[in-house]
Structure 1
Amino acid sequence: MSHPLSRRTILRGAGAVLALPLLEAMIPSQAFLRSAAAAVLHTSKAAAPARMMFVFLPNGVEPTAWSQTLESVLAPQAGSFSVMRGLCHRNAEAQLDGPGDHARSAACFLTGVHPKKTSGGDITAGVSVDQVAARALSGRTQFDSLELGGESTMTAGDCDSGYSCAYSANISWRGPQTPSGKDHEPRVLFERLFAVGDAREDVRARAERIALRKSILDALSPSTAALRARIGENDRRKIDEYMEGVRELEKRIETAERFANSPTSMQASTGIVIPQGNPPSYTARIDLLADLAALALQTDRTRVVTLMLANEGSNRSFPELGVADGHHEVSHHGNHADKKEKFAKINRWQVERFARLMATLQKPDADGVPILDSTMLLLGGAITDGNRHNHDDLPIVLAGGKSLGFQHTGEHLSSAGTPLCNLYVSMLNRVGVQGDRFGDSTGALKMGG
């Protein structure tokens, strides 16, 4: 009778470490379960851990096109998501503080707290829902949480009518005065997830690998061979598929880096300075970050992730969509048809990124169950109509979580004015945080289960 493989088994090599997805070899066998006291402590199938991921949508939406966009883009995922109606964030409203809806909405989005109006160092918001979950799950994974975004973090300056840039550029807050920051370069995130940096020789090996464009998998060949000798055919096939996925991500990052540093790149033709390792295509950058997040969830490197599609108030243009105007500019369309159309195109692009992530998380684990079933995946923001800056009936989509008790019928209608924090309470309950209070919640939102 053999002992099951530890869920924390990793492959190690010079300058590299790779966590593994859930394998059949990690699930206790019936014989093992009948031995000693194991039968009392385990079931024949280990329950998948509860996970959560928040995808932030800045600048609101074009409301006349939003429902149709959701319906058309998310149609292939029917039965796996709910469009949440009636939820609000009252603490994103002015409350006598005047202009600054963008900064307030980002700071309030995951905290439910009205931020202090300041552009100085005395920023004050609240602990965000992702960090409450991360604390509850602390120690169970290598990273308590991951914070990602397409644009860099800012912690100082005035970005919105007297509000600090720290509010606009962060949705995750470890404490009322401490935004979590975020990774925005796919290469940096890849190396953080898979490279060993404890010893000097590992740092040197990693630098050489990157310079020579070698694969992280090359350094892991000996430990991979040893693992394959211990596992069955199904697990070997799963390991092969998993490593093909890792290598594909490496190649995409390498391609992006080569393009970014090429004299024929967009950088040369436009004069835009692109940081080393950041794809000049914003779509490629967001998709790489999302794929790395999915891989981190799949391998149980973390169970909590936030991803900002852009900073709140971002005025980024989208040439790949034929939108040369800035995002923030077209969100204030003034009911001009051409700007509304451009704004709707950006919204559709945002939903397409979310749908792609959903599809990635539909991949099954060792039990044949989609990872999405144990992952609460939320898309949304704290501004509804980008032109009006209102904070009621927010654009929120909740996907996944089937094995955690969430039932999806396509739409979930709450009474007008129901705090978004009520949904957060329900999500926190699923990861073991008991109680019915978070932010301005009035209780837990009921969604089955």
Structure 2
Amino acid sequence: MAHFLSQNWLISRRHALRGLGVSLALPLLDCMRPLGAAETKSRAKRSVFIYLPNGVNTIDFQITQPGADYKFSKSLLPLEKHRANITPISGLYHPHGLGHHHNCSSIWLTGGKIGQSERNTISVDQLMAQVTAPQTRYSSIEMSNQGQSLAYTADGIGLPAQGNPGVVFREMFTAPQGGIVKQRRGLQRRGSILDAVLGEATTLGDQLGQEDRGRLEQYLTSVREVEVRTQRADKWLDTPRPTVDAAVQSQLNRDIALDRLGEYLRTMYDIIVLAFQTDMTRVATFSTGEEGKGPAVPEIGVKQDRHSLSHHNANPKLMQDLTASDTFNIQQFSYFLDRLSQVKDADGPLLDSTMALYGSGMAFGHSHGNANLPLILAGGGGLGLKHGRHVDFNAKSKPEGYAYNLDIHAKHYAICHNPVNNKAHLSNLLLTMAQKMDVKTEKFADSTGTVSEVLA
């Protein structure tokens, strides 16, 4: 028998789990880790991006004290117990996004120049997915309860997002009907069709003008994306999906209507946690509502959608309901952080190995102000992030700091239209997160550097 200290007994994680018949069904175990693993880069790194549509009632959301001694605002109180693992951030914006309110979600993770060009650019989650994809069955998962995806390919094509929790669960954790042979036959048929499309398009491209050729190339990029995903699916066919406990299946494998928003959101968050725990993917995006809609919250008496509430025109009742909706959504995000704290792999709580960015691409929805974006960065302590402070780029713009006066609404709304700090690009934060996911780049979109304030 090999001596443990020789490390000859070690086998790869995938092989070990396949031998057990539940390949990748388990989190990374200590017995699969070589001695001195603290010096290796074997730790799984994960990121999730969660979008809140239509901005917030910024009067009740805004934190006014920078640094470690900040007081939680009314809307953010549900996160107080997570103070040590979160960083509220004020003052960031996308320079190219100003004035393009209905495109806020589409550029939130890209920093793209929507309105100045026809095509978006790659989203930061997909840059991360390029790094993590070799280790997971799914390079990333995209979820949206009203169909609006946050994820964009290298050619600026939006990836489809799924909004039904039961469908998301079944696609990841339930083997398709018909067995491996039938699945492989279907994938091979799809591959043949894609090959034929690419072949004919190449011939056609030689006969087109430059402008039409550009449109065709954009279409072909989408086809190639499908081709890559088809090839990935085929390679994973022989690897069994994780075995999920029956009680967990009954909780997650179901359809939930949006009129039970809290239950819906918590179920989607639980699916993300399970996907991370079983290493099915390490990158996820979740849009909790479409910019022109945004779900109501009838379970707490908020009957109007978020889009309607955001156009409150200083109506006290609508502003109160928007704050209630904001607070309710933050409560569900706090639940997600609870779950990430409770569920562990061999490195500790998932929260330590998971960066979560929560927020919106709009601040003041009534007049579509998209500066001073509401943002919360959480987790990732094991990846080199530090928390416990309110990082306020508005305050950093002046030697004496920035004095918030929330009693004069119009004055505060003004900074949600015109950035106080022109250097405070949201792309800087996205670049920082990308680098922590081992993306080898010094630039993302219009970034001008990293956000050192969140680095340990």
The TM-score, its normalising length taken from structure 1, stands at 0.72
Displacement of 1:190: 1.2
Aligned to 2:66: none
Aligned to 1:405: 384
Secondary structure at 1:174 match in 2:
coil
Identify the match of residue 424 of structure 1 among 414, 421, 430.
430
Displacement of 1:65: 1.1
Within a 5 Å distance, the mapping from 1:116-127 to structure 2 comes to 116=115, 124-127=119-122
Aligned to 1:389: 368
Matches of 1:177 and 1:397 in 2, distance apart? 26
Displacement of 1:329: 0.7
Paired AA for residue 108 in structure 1: I
Within a 5 Å distance, the mapping from 1:72-111 to structure 2 comes to 72-94=77-99, 100-102=100-102, 104-111=103-110
Paired AA for residue 324 in structure 2: K
Paired AA for residue 126 in structure 1: T
Matches of 2:429 and 2:380 in 1, distance apart? 13
Matches of 2:446 and 2:327 in 1, distance apart? 30
Does residue 1:146 correspond to 2:145, yes or no? Answer: no
Does residue 1:306 correspond to 2:313, yes or no? Answer: no
Secondary structure at 1:300 match in 2:
coil
Matches of 2:269 and 2:387 in 1, distance apart? 23
Distance 1:198 1:131, change over 3 A: farther
Paired AA for residue 191 in structure 1: R
Secondary structure at 1:175 match in 2:
coil
Distance 1:364 1:191, change over 3 A: closer
Matches of 2:41 and 2:107 in 1, distance apart? 36
Does residue 1:378 correspond to 2:357, yes or no? Answer: yes
Paired AA for residue 251 in structure 1: S
Q: Deviations over 1:25-77 (max 9, x none)?
A: 3223x5xx8xxxxxxxx558874222111000110000111142354110111
Does residue 1:448 correspond to 2:447, yes or no? Answer: no
Displacement of 1:248: 3.5
Paired AA for residue 333 in structure 2: F
Within a 5 Å distance, the mapping from 1:53-72 to structure 2 comes to 53-67=48-62, 68-72=73-77
Displacement of 1:317: 2.4
Matches of 1:188 and 1:73 in 2, distance apart? 30
Distance 1:397 1:137, change over 3 A: same
Secondary structure at 2:153 match in 1:
strand
Within a 5 Å distance, the mapping from 1:196-211 to structure 2 comes to 196-197=175-176, 199-200=178-179
Identify the match of residue 47 of structure 2 among 25, 49, 52.
52
Paired AA for residue 79 in structure 1: A
Distance 1:278 1:196, change over 3 A: farther
Aligned to 2:402: none
Displacement of 1:247: 3.4
The TM-score, its normalising length taken from structure 2, stands at 0.71
Q: In 2, are the aligned partners of 1:83 and 1:412 still within 8 Å (CA)?
A: yes
Identify the match of residue 181 of structure 1 among 139, 143, 160.
160
Aligned to 1:193: 172
Secondary structure at 1:138 match in 2:
helix
Aligned to 1:130: 125
Aligned to 1:296: 275
Q: Deviations over 1:145-186 (max 9, x none)?
A: 1111222x2xxxxxxxxxxxxxxx221101344101111111
Identify the match of residue 323 of structure 2 among 335, 338, 344.
344
Paired AA for residue 175 in structure 2: V
Q: In 2, are the aligned partners of 1:93 and 1:391 still within 8 Å (CA)?
A: yes
Distance 1:26 1:427, change over 3 A: same
Q: Deviations over 1:252-289 (max 9, x none)?
A: 246x55xxxxxxxxxxxxxxxxxxx6575232222111
Matches of 2:339 and 2:136 in 1, distance apart? 21
Matches of 2:251 and 2:386 in 1, distance apart? 36
Alpha-carbon RMSD across the aligned residues, in angstroms, is 2.9
Q: Deviations over 1:364-386 (max 9, x none)?
A: 53446211111111001110112
Which stretch of the first structure deviates more once superposed, 298-307 or 433-442? 433-442
Return the structure number with greater strand share.
1
Q: Deviations over 1:218-251 (max 9, x none)?
A: xxxxxxxxxxxxxxxxxxxxxxxx98x8434322
Q: In 2, are the aligned partners of 1:90 and 1:391 still within 8 Å (CA)?
A: no
Matches of 1:397 and 1:111 in 2, distance apart? 18
Paired AA for residue 445 in structure 2: G
Q: In 2, are the aligned partners of 1:62 and 1:347 still within 8 Å (CA)?
A: yes
Paired AA for residue 92 in structure 1: G
Identify the match of residue 445 of structure 2 among 435, 439, 442.
439
Secondary structure at 2:142 match in 1:
strand
Matches of 1:112 and 1:345 in 2, distance apart? 30
Distance 1:315 1:350, change over 3 A: closer
Q: How many residues align?
A: 353
